[in-house]
Structure 1
Amino acid sequence: MMRQRKLGSQGLEVSEQGLGCMGMTFAYGPADDQEALRTAHRALELGVNLLDTADFYGPHSNEEFVARVIAGRRDSITVSSKVGNEVTADGTITGRLNGRPDYIRTSLDATLRRLDTDRLDLYYLHRVDPAVPVEESTGALADLVTAGKVRHLGICEASAATIRRAHAVHPLTAVQTEYSLSTRDVEANGVLAAVRELGIGFVGYSPLGRGLLTGAIRSLDALAEHDFRRVVPRFQQGNLETNLHIVERLQALAAAKNITAGQLALAWVLAQGDDIVAIPGTKRVTYLEENLAACAVELSAADLAALDEIAPHGSTAGDRYPVGAMATLDG
């Protein structure tokens, strides 16, 4: 049975691995709707009870996909979605951030309609809008809690200082930021320390480094034509070769433990604290089952020390997003 973890100090408890649903309809090449549905349903069968989406994914289609997954079993599933990457009502991504209260209120109502539910368990500010004080955005989110439309609040990719400002307006349940052996920024920039001080849970997305840490991606030729990773610096020629040297060392350590490099990477994230939940994304049952098996992997102090030596903070070549997307990260 999947172990549960307390996500923050506001009463939310979820499976130690959730399911990042983005790639099922968005960003990672052609979608296979039926296989994605089988994967999501299999995740629920195996004890996953946290599904993560956003209005930006698709846009809109990912929330509609999640609605099909949760139909008939809504009360047993924690659903999280996000707002802040501006999307028009007709589904156009504008490329702007929008944290205005009126936009947040309107977006939440549309999200609830797409998810076919009357409340959201966890609602994140997806990106911090530099044109709007985070206190105003968080105040609008807090009003949605008061109205009974949202149970818990979160924020994504925010600096420690911004997290403190938002938390002072309304207690945050979760901070969601990229976290993996290839992206350890939150250890160095004070975010992990801040959330622990404040009693906020931490949700790590892309814990497999967008597939980099599995070793399956050896060149851009392995990626579909419209796969987002084709423009991610870490997968570009020169950077990828450097990063694969690290992956090869991870694979050797994993082989000695009779597990895959991906399972080793996921086990490492989960070993960083019981206040951390990982949300790997996949759209295939085979990879889902491989990911969930990482929950049973025990890492010794020697294993953790070896991983710190193989993949310390800053060892990955290339930024984790293209220039434009990097500019949307707070702080």
Structure 2
Amino acid sequence: MPSLTSKPVGATGYGLMGLTWRPEPAPKEQAFKAMRTALSKGANFWNGGELYGTPTYNSLHLLNSYFTQYPEDAEKVVLSIKGAFNSQKFMPDSSPANVRRSVDECLRVLDGKKFLDLFECARQDANTPVEATVETLAEYVKAGKLGGISLSEVRAETIRRAAKVHPISAVEVELSLWSTDILDNGVMDTCAELGIPIVAYSPLGRGFLTGQIKSIDDIPEGDFRRHMPRFQPDVFSKNLDLVAELQKFAQAKGCTPAQLALAWVKSFSGKPGRPTVIPIPGATTEERVLENMVDVTLTDRELEEIEKILKKLPVAGGRYAPGHPTET
């Protein structure tokens, strides 16, 4: 069983973003049911964000309500929160002052109902050396207010620089069948070398790999995916071709496309020369949580066949639009 900050976690985690960061957040009753189901199925690593929603209703407010209703779950959950982001300017601000503001705000909203196991800046601010950011977070770790420090969307060089200042507990980066960048840019190799677990966000390709999105109309108005390059009309049908091939593969395997996608991400974990890899699929309903928690194992031959599909049908479009703050 993998661990984060010396606490055991399941092989699959749970992403909270979709529960609060959308035009119409999921009703609390529905959200709580999904959260409790995730925990009951072993997904005890939860990942949320101060920026996932509004200043008055984001992951932290949802968590406060959840642990108020279910205080017995607090010790069972290993919680990671992203912050230090200027939502008004949509720019990262990992300066010491804003890092302190963000962590203090997270602790204030959690109100002692849940320990903050991990904190990470949503993106590394180009105007602030990562060393200064990590030194600031290390103050909270030493004070016992924070369990560990994580990094998000950073280059291999940044990981090395950060690790020289303070131990890094995890690195959160995008990894899925349609986002394989970290396999070639040194991030996965660096994490393996330094013994840092990878938290794989968007392991279902922001829902695209599930096969549920067949046209742009399947994405709600106001959803940020409508502005992402891979969902645009000029590449949409081409990317659907990849999904169709993966759906055929999943059907032959006897699993759903989502289960196939998660199995592929988890296939890297524990292999020689690879770090621990923990996918954090999001789900707003109990049904989707139960689907995601079905464990599927891929053979070496099946992994080779999937690799052939990815080479034959490469993903069209970038991960983010030009100008989006990201290091990798």
TM-score, with structure 2 as normaliser: 0.92
Distance of aligned partners of 1:112 and 1:30 in 2 relative to their CA distance in 1, 3 Å threshold: closer
Contact 1:184 1:313 (8 Å CA) reproduced: no
The corresponding residue for 1:212 is 208
Taking the aligned partners of 2:31 and 2:229, their CA distance within structure 1 comes to 27
Structure 1 stretch displaced more, 22-31 or 188-197: 22-31
Taking the aligned partners of 1:258 and 1:98, their CA distance within structure 2 comes to 45
The corresponding residue for 2:314 is 315
The CA RMSD over aligned residues, in Å, is 1.7
Taking the aligned partners of 2:313 and 2:118, their CA distance within structure 1 comes to 31
Q: Structure 1 unaligned runs (5+)?
A: 88-92
> How far is the alpha carbon of 1:28 from its aligned partner?
7.0
The corresponding residue for 2:83 is 83
1:221 lines up with 2:217 in the alignment: yes
Secondary structure of 2:53 counterpart = coil
> How far is the alpha carbon of 1:70 from its aligned partner?
3.0
Contact 1:5 1:15 (8 Å CA) reproduced: yes
Contact 1:112 1:120 (8 Å CA) reproduced: yes
Structure 1 stretch displaced more, 55-64 or 163-172: 55-64
Deviations 1:170-222 (A, max 9, x none): 01010000100000000010000001101111000000000111111011111
Structure 1 stretch displaced more, 248-257 or 41-50: 41-50
1:22 lines up with 2:17 in the alignment: yes
Structural mapping, 1:149-160, within 5 Å:
149-160=145-156
Contact 1:19 1:51 (8 Å CA) reproduced: yes
- Show structure 1 runs of 4+ deviating over 6 A: none
AA in 2 matched with 1:108 = V
Contact 2:63 2:110 (8 Å CA) reproduced: yes
AA in 1 matched with 2:13 = G
AA in 2 matched with 1:220 = I
Q: How many residues align?
A: 317
Contact 1:84 1:129 (8 Å CA) reproduced: no
- Matching residue within 162, 171, 183 for 2:179: 183
Taking the aligned partners of 1:83 and 1:140, their CA distance within structure 2 comes to 14
> How far is the alpha carbon of 1:312 from its aligned partner?
4.2
Distance of aligned partners of 1:267 and 1:25 in 2 relative to their CA distance in 1, 3 Å threshold: same
The corresponding residue for 2:37 is 42
> How far is the alpha carbon of 1:125 from its aligned partner?
2.0
AA in 1 matched with 2:278 = V
The corresponding residue for 2:273 is none
The corresponding residue for 2:101 is 106
Taking the aligned partners of 1:171 and 1:318, their CA distance within structure 2 comes to 35
The corresponding residue for 1:306 is 305
AA in 1 matched with 2:224 = F
The corresponding residue for 1:63 is 60
Q: Structure 2 unaligned runs (5+)?
A: 271-275
The corresponding residue for 2:290 is 289
AA in 1 matched with 2:314 = S
Distance of aligned partners of 1:30 and 1:279 in 2 relative to their CA distance in 1, 3 Å threshold: same
Contact 1:29 1:227 (8 Å CA) reproduced: no
Taking the aligned partners of 2:15 and 2:287, their CA distance within structure 1 comes to 15
The corresponding residue for 1:168 is 164
